[in-house]
Amino acid sequence: MKRTVLAIFAVAVLAFGSAPVAAGSNNQAIGINVLLNTDITDAILAELGALGTVRDLLSEIDAVTLKARAGDLPAIQALPYVAAANLDAERNGSPVTTAAATDYADGLSTWDLDAVNVTDYGFDNRQVAFDGAGVYVAVLDTGLVDNWRSYFPAERIAVEYAKAFGGGGGDNGNVSEPTNKWEHDQNSHGTHVTSTILGYSLSGTPVNGVAPMAMVIPVKVLNQNGSGWSSVIARGIVYVADLKAGPLADFPVVINMSLGGPSLDAVEKAAIDYAISQGVIIVASAGNRGNAGMGYPGAYAPVISVAASGYIGEWYPPAGGAWWYLMNVSEPTNPAHFYITDFSSRAKPGQDLDVAAPGSWIVGPYQTNGQISYYFLGGTSMASPHVAGIVALMAQKNPGLVAADAEAYLEAAAIYLAPGCRTIYEPGGTTSVCWGADATGAGLITADAALNLVP
């Protein structure tokens, strides 16, 4: 592949945000997620059916989705075999603003990969001995765009396990499995997230990834505008857990979820617990709600959650528009060169924030008109796949790695970032960014430090 670096065509800021699902009228038909405290039986289904229409079963976690009237939710919650029931919670991973802008293990380094010490300046310069080979990373997101082969090596996408789920609360509780929709995404969010893990072709120039030899499983759980429902996400999580329990039993499996919403759904929580019990390690974005608090499922303690950090060299004038690959992040990592973005969610009481990773001005493939194009995106959605990729490296080193140990190693390896302020460059000038102790988790994570702790 040619080594000429082409111009980046756009700049974008990406954030997820959502509001609780409104019940509306008590007679309005809605999607309700029901978690049982016992096995699903015909008698239970019949009784639930008297209160609504059973739309989907998740027998692995004893969960049911219903189409029912909002006014019947208290009666459903009061049933003796119901552990929890709630309105299907909205989830989102779509952009809120945009502005102009075989394997890639020997590809070009970008500032964010340099910041986590996966690469150093230039080409063919990986700084760690692992590349993700033998590890599967399921990206629960919007899927991939039609021309994904223009960006990724075909052999790095596990098409035999790729899947799409749709419906959910917006479809009155029904969860569907549209055929091959995973590779017909019109949103591009999942494609950009995948590019951080695997790397990508920048119009012929290979760009490195955190885990360029991992196998990515695209699981579409968000619709074409980047939004979705926790019932659909739960189905996607259970699907990956069943893969780990079945055909992928001999391989490490990681889930990345660059998505979220303000409340924890009971069925989604049960799906996460089930997946972790099967040996899956789950990484999720902390959320882009700033001082409003973290999003879920990232804030749920067993999930490895990731805040968004930035680099003071971004848009540094001497490098102009080429700073994203020409700037060489200093080593050893100096926390004074980094900051926490203002959008990155701060942890509220009862929420668990683990580490911070690059999530400001991350370059990758992102299509707004169906044509090959590349954008800078900012959001904790971009930070999460950096850590999912690092976890893939850790699992390659130790295939028996489990979620609790992975989280402990990451937190122990993180570089403390004290509360403070930084003056940073932006395309239109400089600005000041400040953060407190609730914004950083254990601190800035680097791949080499995390790998050094893995036995």
Cite the active site residues.
141, 189, 381
Q: How far, in Å, CA of 330 to CA of 318, rounded? A: 17
Helices and strands (DSSP H and E) totals, the chain: 10, 24
Q: How far, in Å, CA of 230 to CA of 140, rounded? A: 12
Q: What are phi and psi of 406, to 5 degrees?
A: -60, -45
CA 32: distance to chain centroid? Answer: 25
Three-state SS at 452: helix
User: For the purposes of burial, counting CB atoms within 10 Å of the CB of 29, is it exposed (0-12), middle (13-18) or buried (19 or more)?
Assistant: middle
Rounded (10°) CA dihedral 225, 240, 170, 86: -130
Q: How far, in Å, CA of 217 to CA of 201, rounded? A: 19
Q: How far, in Å, CA of 33 to CA of 266, rounded? A: 8
Which distant-in-sequence residues (6+ apart) come within 8 Å of 113 by Cβ? 119, 208, 209, 210
For 108-126, give the secondary structure using H, E and C: ECCHHHHHCCCECCCECCE
Which distant-in-sequence residues (6+ apart) come within 8 Å of 454 by Cβ? 394, 397, 398, 401, 409
Question: What does 6-75 look like in DSSP terms, one character per residue?
Answer: PPP-EEEEE-----PPP--STT-EEEEEEEESS---HHHHHHHHTTEEEEEEEGGGTEEEEEEEGGGHHH
Q: How far, in Å, CA of 448 to CA of 354, rounded? A: 17
CA distances from 291 to 178, 255, 361 (A): 37, 26, 21
Q: How many CB atoms lie within 10 A of CB 46?
A: 10
Three-state SS at 284: strand
